[in-house]
């Protein structure tokens, strides 16, 4: 069976006035496949990674803030904290997919491209040889 996939690639990030952003292809996938669903099951999440041919990594804004910034955000609801937050890449090859809010707070979702089928095949053959 051949699965349909695309390759999610980096694009320019232009955050909105509140500091949030979503990759256009990632957004299309969510709208088309999960229009009513804000929370994805683990199965749906893995399917999305497979279709987009990436692995996702999330970073939590609160883990990256100073104590003063965290206090400002949590107690004063200071939105400028989100606007000025520059999430840290979890890996050098990671690119930003989304900055969003959820039950867990403000997260940045990163993607790392998986090798293409051709690249994976060549690597596998190289390991065997």
Q: Would you state the pLDDT for residue 123?
A: 47
**pTM, 2 dp:** 0.84
Domain edges within the chain: 21-32+41-128
The per-residue pLDDT for range 37-48, each reduced to its tens digit, is 778 999 999 999
Residue 112, phi then psi, degrees to nearest 5 = -125, 125
- The torsion angle over the Cα atoms of residues 28, 34, 36 and 42, rounded to 10 degrees, is -130
Residue that wins the pLDDT comparison between 121 and 46: 46
**pLDDT over threshold 90, residue 23:** yes
Mean pLDDT of the chain: 88
Tell which residue, 5, 7, 23, 6, has the closest CA to residue 15.
23
């Amino acid at each position: 069976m051949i699965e349909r996939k695309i390759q999610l690639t980096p694009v320019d990030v232009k955050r909105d006035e509140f500091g949030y952003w979503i990759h256009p292809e990632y957004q299309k996938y969510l709208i088309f496949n999960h229009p009513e669903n804000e929370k994805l099951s683990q199965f749906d999440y893995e399917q999305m990674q497979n279709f987009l041919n990436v692995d996702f990594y999330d970073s939590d804004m609160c883990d990256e803030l100073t104590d003063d910034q965290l206090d400002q955000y949590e107690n004063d609801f200071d939105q400028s904290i989100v606007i000025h937050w520059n999430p840290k890449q979890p890996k050098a090859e990671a690119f930003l997919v989304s900055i969003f809010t959820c039950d867990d707070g403000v997260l940045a979702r990163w993607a790392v491209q998986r090798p293409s089928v051709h690249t994976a095949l060549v690597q596998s053959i190289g390991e065997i040889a």
